[in-house]
């Protein structure tokens, strides 16, 4: 476990991801006919329910990983951020410009930048800042 206070910001963000994942599930259950737009295509029909479940599943996984500062969560969050930005860029090209999609892309890029800056919160081993210094060897 990490020292007390280290990574509290990431853990708080993890809690927010858990809330978002839960809200995603509720929205999918309340609005099953909603056509999710992914990579420039509107996903419709009976099979779309399973496709829509990817969002809450990934949000809940990231939330869990952030809460416990798991190193795999860092990579998953960055990969999912890239997935979201590319998908929304393709949606803009297909469905036309949207300020909401543009805002999502900008905030996702900023969030990914923050995660890259906070990479050390997810490391299991010692980093250069907290690695013990080797004992000097005496020459005989």
Q: Is there a contact between 34 and 52 (Cβ–Cβ < 8 Å)? A: yes
Strand, coil or helix: 106: helix
Q: How confident is the model at residue 2 (pLDDT cuts 50, 70, 90)?
A: very low
- Count the Cβ atoms, other than its own, within 10 Å of residue 137: 6
Please choose, from the candidates 87, 90, 91, 69, the residue with its C-alpha nearest in 3D space to the C-alpha of residue 79.
87
Tell me if the pTM is above 0.85.
no
* Helix%, strand%, coil% for the chain, nearest 5: 65, 5, 30
**pLDDT value at residue 1:** 46
């Amino acid at each position: 476990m990490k020292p007390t206070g280290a990574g509290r910001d990431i853990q708080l963000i993890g809690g927010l991801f858990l809330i978002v994942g839960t809200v995603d599930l509720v929205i999918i259950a309340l609005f099953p006919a909603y056509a999710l737009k992914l990579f420039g295509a509107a996903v419709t029909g009976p099979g779309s329910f399973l496709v829509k479940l990817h969002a809450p599943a990934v949000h809940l996984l990231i939330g869990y990983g952030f809460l416990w500062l798991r190193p795999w969560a860092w990579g998953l969050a960055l990969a999912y951020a890239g997935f979201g930005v590319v998908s929304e860029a393709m949606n803009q090209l297909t469905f036309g410009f949207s300020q909401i999609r543009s805002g999502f892309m900008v905030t996702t890029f900023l969030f990914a930048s923050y995660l890259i800056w906070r990479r050390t919160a997810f490391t299991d081993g010692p980093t250069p800042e907290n690695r013990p210094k080797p004992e000097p060897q005496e020459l005989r």
